[in-house]
DNA sequence: CAGTATCCAATTCGATACTG
DNA sequence: CAGTATCGAATTGGATACTG
């Protein structure tokens, strides 16, 4: 375990679950306060953990897409459960 | 969100779900590589987040127990889902 | 037993600038 | 567009010693 550590991984996976695939700049826009550095760092980590797949289209300008692997998609129930919990237990006005 | 960050929180909650309540030294033994400092630190954070309740028995020697609040118990489905996912997606030989 | 207190190393994170 | 490089600040984590 420990695969889901880091402030951004859950958010990244969440946004990939909402819409797939996503381009790098797409994710950048979807997650407002993340820096490029953190985004790429966490994406690489998720890739290394087998949760995210990186697809490069050798075009100009560069085109890279990210999508969830099967293992990544399999996180859906867990993320939903976490989301529900957060909605119930961390109510905001 | 971000309540579950930190290396130990999920472990602490897990052990509290397994058996409640737990004394401090209990948790210390249950989580081998945690230091006292980190354990108390994370427990305080969980307490502040309303996930864990701390109960002090004014005895000698001191006696303190920790248990999950309702919000903490409500994490059960999420933790189970994560556990299942880990079992499926991070297979070890 | 259930913590505190210190000190120090390692890691994380953000801002900024630059590149193919 | 999709990164890489570098720096420094902040946070986190561990070891150790001590206390009511």
Min distance A67 CA to chain B CA atoms (Å): 16
pLDDT confidence bin for B2, thresholds 50/70/90:
low
Alpha-carbon B60 to chain mean position? 25
Global pTM value: 0.89
Confidence of residue B84 (pLDDT cuts 50, 70, 90): very high
pLDDT category at B79 given cuts 50, 70, 90 is very high
pLDDT of the residue at A32: 87
Enumerate the nucleotides of strand C whose atoms come under 7 Å of any protein CB.
1-6, 12-17, 20
pLDDT digit string, tens, across residues B40-68? 999 999 999 999 999 999 998 999 999 99
Residues of chain A with pLDDT under 50: 93
Residue A23: per-residue pLDDT? 98
Question: Among the residues of B1-93, which ranges form H helices?
Answer: 9-18, 24-30, 36-48, 70-73, 76-89
The residues of B between 5 and 44 with beta carbon within 7 Å of nucleic strand D are 5-8, 33-38, 41
Which domains are delineated in chain A? 2-89 (1.10.10.10)
């Amino acid at each position: 375990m420990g695969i889901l550590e880091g402030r951004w991984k859950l958010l990244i996976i969440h946004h990939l679950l909402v819409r797939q695939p996503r381009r790098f700049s797409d994710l950048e826009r979807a997650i407002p306060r993340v820096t490029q550095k953190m985004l790429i760092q966490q994406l690489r980590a998720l890739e290394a953990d087998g949760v995210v797949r990186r697809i490069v289209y050798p075009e100009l300008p560069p085109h890279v897409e990210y999508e969830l692997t099967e293992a990544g998609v399999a996180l859906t129930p867990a993320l939903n459960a976490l989301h529900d919990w957060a909605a119930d237990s961390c109510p905001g006005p």
